[in-house]
Amino acid sequence: MGKTILDGDKLSQAAVRGDWQEVKRLLTDEKVNANAVNKFGQTALQVMMLGSTMVAEELLKNGAQPNVQDRWGFTPAHDVARSGFLDTMKVLIKYKANVNIKDAAWCLPIHLAAQEGYLDLVQYLTPRSSILQKNISGQTPLDLARASNRTEVVAWLEQQLQAMQTQTQH
């Protein structure tokens, strides 16, 4: 294994643990590239402890690519949306994460947040994304929330759609 893979492994391992101090040390003292990949071909941002906003911020301010996709098309924003970490999503967006990148199933992060029932994330993503976007199966975020019985998200999205229809009628 080359130095870059070893660096990627060390950085990824620290990020997975949510060890902000070690991530910072590796980036600043050892000059590890924030986009170095581990032995699985993933960056530290892709594998980080998702609730660790300090790790996300450290990686991103040191040049980590916020829109890197894995083989299923998931970006860190997809992972964060699926896991419900609003604070981490805010950090990603601060560093130019695009929440309108489709994964392999054509889902946007808002689809995943709706499906999992994370109302705060759905509310945060709505002005930055499209609640009308359909995935590969023709489902909108509202359809996925309904199918997963996420009643709060369903009610809120229905209100948004009604407001949109009212605006277009006037």
CATH code at 132?
A: 1.25.40.20
pLDDT recorded at residue 170: 66
pLDDT in tens, 98-111: 999 999 999 999 99
Question: Whole-prediction pTM value?
Answer: 0.92
Could you tell me if 39 and 58 lie in one domain? Answer: yes
Cα–Cα distance measured from residue 100 to residue 80, given in angstroms and rounded to the nearest whole number:
14
Could you tell me if 15 and 49 lie in one domain? Answer: yes
Domain that includes residue 46, residue range: 1-65
Asked if residues 88 and 60 have their Cβ atoms less than 8 Å apart, the reply is no
Cα–Cα distance measured from residue 55 to residue 13, given in angstroms and rounded to the nearest whole number:
12
- Rounded mean pLDDT of 90-97? 97
When pLDDT is cut at 50, 70 and 90, the band that residue 5 belongs to is low
Cα–Cα distance measured from residue 143 to residue 69, given in angstroms and rounded to the nearest whole number:
25
Could you tell me if 4 and 42 lie in one domain? Answer: yes
pLDDT at position 56 over 60: yes
Could you tell me if 47 and 116 lie in one domain? Answer: no
